[in-house]
Amino acid sequence: MAKKSEKVTVDEKNLSSLLSVDAIKSIFELMNQNEIGELDLEHGDVRIKIVGKNQQPAAAPATVLLPQAGSLSLTSSALSSVAPADSSATEAKTSASEAKSAPNVRLIRAPMVGTFYGRPSPDVSAFVAPGDEVTPETVVCLIEAMKLFNEIKAETTGKIVKVLVKDGTPVEFHQPLFEIED
């Protein structure tokens, strides 16, 4: 729901063919097979530079610069900047920090549209707080939809790192609610 005012554009569509691990893996293999020492690719905000291990000029290890947020799209930037708004921005941010910090940070996402409540009633404490260990059966929040309060379970085991949504906030389908780590 996301008013249209502020938008963060994260378009991952177009250069994706190159910016996937598989693609880069293939390039690595091809570089090795073909004795290529270095690859340096740049497009707009994207630049990929790959230097072979025993390569003289660059002593640095294989560097992969991931795309910045910003339109990588080759299509209309106006229209490809369409979707991501509040929630997606959050999502993008978290995925980014996820990627940066630790690969074992995961997300608990909203399984439905509705209003998020972190506590069973206003005067008691939250279901979970950062640092809490949860199991798949742990209720982490309520989502109110059509006057019904639905208990949302963690569906996974781990430790709550961060609560991403404030009490009483409307959430979209699949919107990240919690960061969790092993």
Residues interacting with another protein, by CB under 8 A?
1-4, 13-14, 73-80, 82-85, 87-88, 112-115, 145-146, 170-175
Least distance from another protein to the Cβ atom of residue 44, Å: 10
Q: Tokens in use for 47?
A: 């630049």
User: From its phi and psi, is residue 149 left (phi > 0), alpha (psi between -120 and 50) or beta?
Assistant: beta
- How far apart are the C-alpha atoms of 70 and 67, rounded to whole Å? 8
Residues 6+ apart with CB under 8 A from 48: 18, 19, 24, 39, 40, 41, 42, 64, 65
| Residue 174 binding partner per list its own copies, another protein, none, with a CB distance cut-off of 5 to 8 Å that depends on partner kind | another protein
Task: Work out which of 5, 34, 121, 125 binds its own copies, going by CB under 8 A.
Answer: 34
Q: Which of 2, 8, 41, 85 binds its own copies (CB under 8 A)?
A: 41
- Sheet with 105-109, side-by-side order of all strands: 105-109, 176-181, 158-163, 133-134
What phi and psi, each to the nearest 5 degrees, are found at residue 118? -85, -10
Among 10, 11, 50, 117, binds its own copies (CB under 8 A): 50
**Per CB under 8 A, does 104 bind its own copies?**
no
CB of 13 to another protein, least distance (A): 8
What is the per-residue binding string for its own copies in 144-173, x denoting contact by CB under 8 A? ------------------------------
Helix (H, G, I), strand (E, B) or coil at 24: helix
Task: Report the residue number, 65 or 74, with the smaller CB distance to another protein.
Answer: 74
- Quote the Cα angle for 170-6-88, to 5°: 50
- Quote the least distance from Cβ 124 to another protein, whole Å: 23
- CA distance readout (Å), 82 to 4, 11, 88, 174: 10, 9, 11, 18
Answer for which of 64, 65, 74, 99 binds its own copies (CB under 8 A) is: 74
What whole-number distance in Å separates Cα of residue 95 and Cα of residue 109?
Answer: 12
Of its own copies, another protein, none, which one does residue 17 interact with (CB within 5 to 8 Å by kind)?
its own copies
Q: How far is the CB of 63 from its own copies (least distance, A)?
A: 13
